[in-house]
Amino acid sequence: MNIVKSLISKTFILHSLLALGMVEAVAGSDNIGLATAKNQTIVAGGTTFSYRSFGHQQGTPLVFLQHFTGTMDYWDPAVVDGLAKTRRVIVFNNTGMGHSSGKVADSIDQMSKDAYAFITALGYKQVDLLGFSMGGFIAQELAAAHPDQIRKVVLVGTSNKGGGEHLMKVLGEAFSQNLPDPRLHVFFTQSVQSQQAGKAFIARSTVRQDRDPEISKEDMNAHAKALITWANTPDPEFALLKAIQQPVMIVQGSNDEMLITDHAITLYKHLPNAQLVLYPDSGHGSFFQYPADFVSKATTFLN
């Protein structure tokens, strides 16, 4: 009877601490995941960052860096929750995005500094990074500038500095299609199989009820300026890539028309310690089309 009372008491205390935000929930417990994890805040450099942190307590935490105009709710739960089974995962809104305070930066340099301030405030000795598209630009800058704090990097659907000559054209075409969701045009190919995968991804990523607010037109313009400037700034000697000594996993779709597939080969050739994964019949969001396989490969790499 005393054992039962002790267990009941411990359960009550744990639930009380969770309600007060004094301990973090673990992915898999009570179905905690991207769609259900509580929103948290942390202050760094005068900015109040909104974020979600959950998953396995062991290993190096994995910080996600989001694409152009995206918030925490634009990630795929199948990817984030899958990776959370073996490590702590952290998604966040950079300065001015979602519920984070401040003004959205109009340069990748400032976005990288803001992201580093957030990561430092978390208090971890080291983190891994997963950067998607524009988030891959930020991940490269962080890895080069902070080799002691950044352990490993996953780059998805991104390019080397100066390699974005097609991106705004493709974005313009996507928004002119009057599609229910432009991501069906940008992230996936037009094959039946890829479009089916795209619709499944959109269904997964729209489950959460208390979603982040969408980006404003003014802030979208700031994002566009940052994206265009970095992607069109020449780095003919590939100095940024050569400065990244950490292990890097590059993931790309076979038919990425925005940050074209050829640039994944460039990343692979000039990063000192890289491996490359190319997915068939896929566009900019290849890891959303093959989430289970991506989670498996990324988990092996990060471990």
pLDDT tens digits for 125-164?
Answer: 999 999 999 999 999 999 999 999 999 999 999 999 998 7
Number of other residues whose CB lies within 10 A of the CB of residue 81: 25
Reduce the DSSP state of residue 81 to 3 states and report it: helix
pLDDT digits (tens, 9 = 90+) for 203-241: 999 999 999 999 999 999 999 999 999 999 999 999 999
Structure tokens at 257: 């028309």
Reduce the DSSP state of residue 23 to 3 states and report it: coil
Q: Which of 13, 128, 153, 133 is nearest to 60 (CA)?
A: 128
Q: How far is CA 127 from CA 110, 133, 158, 177, 297, in A?
A: 20, 19, 20, 39, 18
Q: Which amino acid is at 178?
A: N
Mean pLDDT for the stretch of residues 54-66: 95
Cα separation, 19 vs 11, in Å, equals: 12
Cα separation, 123 vs 291, in Å, equals: 29
| pLDDT confidence tier of residue 58, bands split at 50, 70 and 90 | confident
pLDDT digits (tens, 9 = 90+) for 249-282: 999 999 998 899 999 999 999 999 999 999 999 9
Cα separation, 244 vs 241, in Å, equals: 5
Reduce the DSSP state of residue 136 to 3 states and report it: helix
Q: What is the pLDDT of residue 39?
A: 97
Query: pTM of the entire structure?
Result: 0.88
Number of other residues whose CB lies within 10 A of the CB of residue 20: 8
Reduce the DSSP state of residue 190 to 3 states and report it: coil
